[in-house]
């Protein structure tokens, strides 16, 4: 199965983008080649751009607090494991404390590093990070892999409270929905939402179905149109019925 996620508000959209960037960083940081670590640095610059909005940290703290209050409502519920509930609340408290410890604007220490900002500005130009454009960066890339990795870890470490916070929010959000099997007749599916407050839609499709969902949604209606994947010509809508799993997530 392949899972497609569609956020219905800007806050969740931002968290999903950052989750993807943290995953890229975790993967490329493990590599030893200069190309791996260049990719790590580019992902860090992208993360800086996404998370640098002045209200982002406040938004994430508010989301954590909202979910903490939701979980507190389950206290003394015999159907809920007290141990699991306490563990989730502890995670939220730790993530909140980590975010509160981040002083100033997120990533300000990166913006104050002239060497990094020089690389960032040149990397925005196609092919602009060549050795003749950035000889000091080229020298850094030729250092031992462990030395480069230590530098990268130092630049990434202050961003980790963001990762911890968004991981909790997205995990609870994904677990909040109940998956239901649906059928898209001739590749089309529509659901009346009735004003329900949904934060994210998840669509799971068998990889063998050779179908890619195009999703559009608001609080009134959800539309899913399945297209045939094509890397050469323009994608065409599926003409057969598509069985898929639909999950509406909200906390």
pLDDT in tens, 22-47: 999 999 999 999 999 999 999 999 99
Given a cut of 90, is residue 184 above it in pLDDT? yes
pTM: 0.89
- In this prediction, residues 102-126 reach a mean pLDDT of 89
Given a cut of 90, is residue 234 above it in pLDDT? no
The two structure tokens encoding residue 211: 């179908």
User: Model confidence at 105, in pLDDT bands (50, 70, 90)?
Assistant: confident
Given a cut of 70, is residue 54 above it in pLDDT? no
**What are the two backbone dihedrals, phi and then psi, of residue 23, each rounded to the nearest 5 degrees?**
-65, -40
The two structure tokens encoding residue 93: 């408290």
pLDDT at 233: 80
Distance CA 226, CA 208 (A): 13
pLDDT at 201: 95
Distance CA 150, CA 141 (A): 13
- In this prediction, residues 164-172 reach a mean pLDDT of 92
User: Model confidence at 213, in pLDDT bands (50, 70, 90)?
Assistant: very high
State the chain's mean pLDDT as an integer: 90
């Amino acid at each position: 199965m392949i899972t497609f996620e569609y956020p219905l508000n800007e806050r969740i959209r931002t968290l999903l983008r950052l989750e993807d960037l943290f995953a890229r960083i975790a993967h490329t940081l493990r590599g030893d080649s200069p190309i791996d670590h260049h990719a790590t640095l580019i992902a860090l610059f992208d993360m800086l751009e996404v998370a640098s909005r002045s209200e982002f940290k406040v938004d994430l703290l508010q989301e954590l607090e909202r979910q903490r209050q939701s979980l507190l409502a389950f206290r003394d519920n015999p159907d809920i494991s007290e141990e699991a509930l306490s563990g989730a609340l502890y995670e939220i408290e730790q993530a909140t404390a980590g975010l509160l410890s981040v002083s100033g604007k997120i990533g300000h220490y990166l913006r104050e590093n002239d060497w990094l900002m020089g690389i960032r500005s040149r990397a925005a130009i196609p092919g602009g990070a060549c050795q003749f454009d950035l000889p000091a960066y080229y020298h850094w890339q030729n250092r031992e892999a462990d030395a480069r990795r230590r530098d990268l870890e130092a630049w990434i470490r202050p961003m980790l409270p963001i990762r911890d916070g968004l991981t909790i929010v997205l995990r609870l959000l994904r677990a909040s929905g109940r998956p239901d099997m649906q059928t898209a007749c001739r590749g089309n599916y529509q659901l009346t939402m009735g004003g329900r407050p949904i934060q994210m839609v998840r669509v799971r499709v068998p990889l063998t179905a050779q179908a890619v969902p195009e999703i559009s949604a608001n609080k009134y209606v959800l539309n899913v149109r399945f297209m045939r994947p094509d890397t050469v010509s323009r994608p065409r809508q599926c003409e057969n019925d598509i069985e898929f799993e639909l999950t509406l997530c909200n906390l």
